[in-house]
Chain A
Amino acid sequence: ETGVTQTPRHLVMGMTNKKSLKCEQHLGHNAMYWYKQSAKKPLELMFVYNFKEQTENNSVPSRFSPECPNSSHLFLHLHTLQPEDSALYLCASSQVGLAGFDEQFFGPGTRLTVL
């Protein structure tokens, strides 16, 4: 595997279900991100992890729970979601350093549908 991978690619769940999205980066980066992409809206940053520590929670509802067990893996645990949470969830990683700009590499995303 190369780059950033995400599983599953598609997920359909009911509002009472509990599921998890998984992201893995094979680039040796030290920062990982979750974004939400809804139709006709800009990508919305949800969470940022630097060196496994959460450094940003962009006012995301508690029904979304991130987990970063190591610098290569990132999870998004989902429970009691709402239909409006249906979207493409994108994971990204980057190498944060002293130079400033760090290119974020994106995974292919998980297409989530909440019924």
Chain B
Amino acid sequence: GQQLNQSPQSMFIQEGEDVSMNCTSSSIFNTWLWYKQEPGEGPVLLIALYKAGELTSNGRLTAQFGITRKDSFLNISASIPSDVGIYFCAGQMIGGTSYGKLTFGQGTILTVHP
């Protein structure tokens, strides 16, 4: 089945540093998504990418949909303590029996030291 490899698995950074994480896939996706999960909560959507090569920003977050449609990265600039959490990438295929089905990466655990 489809698999996503997300790296790094964890990051320990100082407040103010920039963060970068990425996902690669053995399969092509139509949509790439980045979610954040905080303790005791479900994942919350941060950024959605719809087209190969697309670069999208949401505040301090920037994500790109790889040109091959098999990878994506997420950057967080000038990190702050509330950025702590688990970040997941997810790929989605649109159409046919895969409609609505998300394939998730393993997650990147982010710790920010004040």
Contacts and interface: CB of A to CB of B under 8 A. Distances in A.
Given A41-B106, A42-B4, A48 B101 contact: yes
B100 A40 contact: no
A53 interface: no
Contacts, number: 60
A114 to B, nearest CB: 20
Interface in B8-53: 30-31, 40-45, 48, 50
A43 B99 contact: no
Nearest to A91: B42
Contact of A45 (B44, B48, B102): B102
Interface in A28-43: 31, 33, 40-43
Contacts of B44: 106
A42 B40 contact: no
A56 B42 contact: no
B88 interface: yes
Interface of A: 4, 31, 33, 40-43, 45, 48, 50, 55-56, 90-92, 94, 96, 100-109
